[in-house]
Amino acid sequence: MNTEDLGNSKILNLLFKPAGVMMGSRLRRWLMNPVKTLQGAGIAPGQTVLEVGCGTGFFTIPAAELIGDQGRLVAMDTLLDYTKRVSEKVQSAGLKNVRVIKRDALDTGLDAASIDTVLLFGVLPFPSLPLARLLPEMHRVIKPEGRMAVWLFPVSGWVPKSIRQSGLFIYVSKRNGVYNYKRC
């Protein structure tokens, strides 16, 4: 079974429910301001953004508000339950600039060079997002002058090292806990 089919599994969706609750909890909001983290990634009005592994949408709604009506946000996750919840949140917030897609980010199906900023927030390291496959796909979809922003949870020093060693991205800065890379 591939990752996309796994995301439909009732058992898996049930198992991930508590994690989903924690991801959107008040405690997390109290500990972490999503807007500040998104600003660390340079998210700005008018951008086209891909959010990999949007989960239950902790970053999705604030990101959509930051990019505004002229921006476009693709929020992608493999878990059916999560994408449904994010779609509901997007709808009740009245946002028209978000497309929620249930899909494996290792094969996004997006056009090449179509994205200004990729957000890898809280998704690395993750077993179903191996860097050896994820980075080439991110490199493909990011515009030549585009950026990839990584917020690590848990903090893992080998991830920034592996990104640098991939030869696909150049480290630019670390702001508000976010590692920013430009596409080579």
Residue 181 binds to ligand SAM (criterion: CB under 6 A): no
Edge-to-edge strands, sheet with 142-151: 98-102, 72-77, 48-52, 115-121, 142-151, 178-183, 169-175
- Residues 6+ away with beta carbon under 8 Å from 143: 113, 114, 115, 116, 183
**Residue 89 CB, nearest distance to ligand SAM (Å)?**
12
State yes or no: cis peptide before 125, omega within 30 of 0. yes
φ/ψ of 144, rounded to 5, equals: -50, -35
Per-position x/- string for 62-91, each x denoting binding to ligand SAM as judged by CB under 6 A, each - no binding: --------------xxxx--x---------
**Binding test (CB under 6 A) with ligand SAM, winner from 75, 98, 105, 138:** 105
> Which of 62, 71, 122, 146 touches ligand SAM (CB under 6 A)?
122
Q: Residue 42, by phi and psi: left (phi above 0), alpha (psi -120 to 50) or beta? A: left
158 vs 170, which CB is nearer to ligand SAM?
158
Interface with ligand SAM, residue 101, by CB under 6 A: no
CB closer to ligand SAM, 97 vs 128: 128
Q: Rounded to the nearest 5°, which phi and psi values hold at 48?
A: -105, 120
Which residues in this chain contact ligand SAM in the complex, by CB under 6 A?
3, 23, 52-55, 58-59, 76-79, 82, 104-106, 121-123, 126, 128-129
